[in-house]
């Protein structure tokens, strides 16, 4: 039985090889079975952090990046996949799971589409770092 982990805010996050203090802001419901815990980086207003928790079989909306300097997607735990569709229409699928040897970290460019999807039998926890911090209008939800 796949038990949903109890939510406990984190107080630090390792990004690009450096552990950095973070402050929990709020939890937002993104879609059915998908929640995002928003954090600020302590003393650093150039970026923010979203920890995205996806229930088994659920997925984030298919989103197009329309603005921002850098959007970084990364894997934390569970099993699933990240689908990226380039502005050229070419699709890249990154399968993720606990047995991975190398961490999955992907930079998403403006104009690209992205979507995380949890395996039907596993929770999936991923992260997103936005430069500058996330604001409405950064992504456009694409109908499926």
User: Is 11 a member of any domain?
Assistant: no
Examine residue 45 and state whether it is found in any structural domain, yes or no: yes
Count of domains in the chain?
1
What mean pLDDT, rounded, does the chain reach?
92
Q: Hey, what are 60's tokens?
A: 């984030």
Domain extent for 103:
20-141
Query: Using CA atoms, how far apart are residues 19 and 82, in angstroms rounded to an integer?
Result: 24
- pLDDT confidence of 7, banded at 50, 70, 90? confident
Residue 1 pLDDT > 50: no
pLDDT at 61 over 50: yes
Q: Give the pLDDT band of residue 116 (cuts 50, 70, 90).
A: very high
Within a domain: 56:
yes
Is 10 within a domain? no
- Tell me what the mean pLDDT of segment 92-117 comes to: 91
pLDDT at residue 100 in the model:
75
Q: What is the pLDDT of residue 6?
A: 65
User: What was the pLDDT predicted at 30?
Assistant: 93
In a domain? residue 12? no
Rounded distance between C-alpha atoms, residue 57 and residue 79, angstroms:
10
For range 96-110, the mean pLDDT: 88
Domain assignment present for 48: yes
* Segment 28-56 mean pLDDT: 96
The first and second tokens of residue 140, run together, are 């456009």
Give mean pLDDT, residues 68-92.
Answer: 96
* CATH number of the domain to which 28 belongs: 2.60.120.10
DSSP 8-state code for residue 69? S
Q: In which band, very low, low, confident or very high, does the pLDDT at 57 lie, cut at 50, 70 and 90?
A: very high
The four Cα atoms 92, 28, 58, 144 give a dihedral, to 10 degrees, of -60
């Amino acid at each position: 039985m796949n038990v949903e982990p109890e939510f406990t805010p984190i107080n630090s996050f390792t990004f690009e090889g450096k552990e950095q203090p973070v402050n929990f802001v709020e939890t937002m419901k993104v879609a059915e079975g998908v929640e995002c815990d928003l954090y600020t980086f302590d003393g650093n207003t150039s970026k923010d952090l979203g920890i995205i928790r996806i229930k088994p079989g659920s997925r984030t909306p298919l989103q197009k990046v329309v603005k921002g300097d850098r959007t970084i997607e990364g894997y934390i735990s569970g099993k699933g996949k990240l689908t990226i569709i380039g502005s050229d229409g070419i699709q890249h699928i990154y399968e993720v799971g606990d047995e991975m040897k190398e961490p999955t970290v992907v930079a998403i460019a403006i104009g690209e589409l992205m979507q995380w999807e949890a395996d039907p039998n596993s929770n999936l926890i991923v992260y997103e770092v936005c430069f500058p911090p996330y604001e409405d209008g950064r992504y456009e939800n694409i109908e499926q």
